[in-house]
Amino acid sequence: MLDMLRRIIGQPAQPAPVTAPVRNGVTPPAPRSPSYDSGLVPSLKNDHQELVALFEQIGRTYEARRFHEIPALLTAFKTRLEAHLLTENVRFYNYVESTLRDDAENLALIRDFRREMNTIARGVIDFVKKYQANGDAESIMHSFLNDYRAVGGLLVQRIQREEGNLYPLYMPT
């Protein structure tokens, strides 16, 4: 979880400890497998709706030429996206990978989705940072729209694939 967040913000990943620490001669129990939550997929889909709405609001703000408002909207979008990604990585992917550990084909699909999402997340975060740091009207006016459309296309494609192909793999064991 922290390694994914470190990658998003550009810090190197930390190596995992080799063994669990022993205290007073007692080794702590192995970590439990993640548990199923029937509300998780509906919550993730709701996140998608909120992210799309925020992204569309950014576009409408651009069209209205209220460029000074865009950096704050980008910050809200980035914050919401990072929360969604954290939930997906910790609760969704860990559970599905655990339940599908004996199904090589679907496990490979899950891992591919996870890698792809990390790549898309980096692109989105780079987009947000670019226009937060360079949020002057001149910069936004000239280069923002092409970047916005490219990122929007990636997000739409990803959401469709998650909801159509990935989320159905989340089932109780």
pLDDT, averaged in runs of 10, over the chain (173 residues):
48 52 61 84 97 96 91 93 92 92 89 86 88 69 88 90 90 88
User: What are the φ/ψ torsions at residue 24 (nearest 5 degrees)?
Assistant: 55, 35
- Residues 126/73, Cβ–Cβ less than 8 Å: no
Answer yes or no: is 20 within a domain: no
- The structural domain count of the chain equals 1
Answer yes or no: is 74 within a domain: yes
pLDDT for the residue numbered 116: 86
pLDDT for the residue numbered 41: 97
- Determine if the pTM surpasses 0.85: no
Torsion of CA 37, 41, 47, 50, to 10 degrees: -130
Token output for 126: 């780079």
Token output for 139: 């910069």
Answer yes or no: is 11 within a domain: no
Answer yes or no: is 159 within a domain: yes
Answer yes or no: is 30 within a domain: no
pLDDT for the residue numbered 68: 86
Residue 44: count of CB within 10 angstroms of its CB:
20
Q: How far apart are CA 60 and CA 67, in angstroms?
A: 10
pLDDT for the residue numbered 81: 92
Supply the CATH number for residue 98's domain.
1.20.120
Q: Which domain holds residue 112?
A: 39-169
H helical segments located in the chain: 2-9, 40-63, 70-87, 94-99, 104-133, 137-161
